[in-house]
Amino acid sequence: MAVTRYHRQMAINALEAPPARAGLEPAAALFRSLADPTRLAIIRSLAAGPARVVDLTGRLGLAQSTVSKHLACLRECRLVEVRPHGRASVYSLAPPAQPGLHRLLAAAGDLLAATGDAVALCPAYGHRR
């Protein structure tokens, strides 16, 4: 049994049709983890090499607390790892994630070049000018 809402058929019972979105939750979570401009800037910076929080704050012009908060998120997603270096902590892209992140950023750059300003002007996700 289905109801019409917004001119689309929507299944009331999940057993009626196989979900088209099955198995996409991990990919969606990955893209959400990268959806913040600060986290993307951190990833891009770490793609150039390991850095301390103080290095990242200087490069990105952000507060230490902001950088630390976003690094914690990226660590929880296992995209970034940390190792002690004296009294400081050095952050780098996690080895298992590193080649994939490089390819993903390159593919995103290619896609943005191909679509021009379309994504930036998207009313749902783009920035307003």
Q: Which domain holds residue 28?
A: 22-115
This prediction has a pTM of 0.75
CATH assignment at residue 83 = 1.10.10.10
Q: Strand 80-85 and strand 88-93: pairing?
A: antiparallel
- As for how many domains the chain has, the answer is 1
Helices (H), the chain: 25-33, 37-47, 53-60, 64-76, 98-115
Of 92, 8, 85, which is closest to residue 49 (Cα–Cα)? 92
Assigned domain for 66 exists? yes
Q: What are the angstrom distances between the C-alpha of 67 and each of 9, 36, 43, 90? A: 44, 12, 11, 13
What are the tens digits of pLDDT across the range 6-50? 555 555 554 544 578 778 888 888 999 999 999 999 999 999 999
Instruction: Count CA within 13 A, CB hemisphere, residue 127.
Output: 5
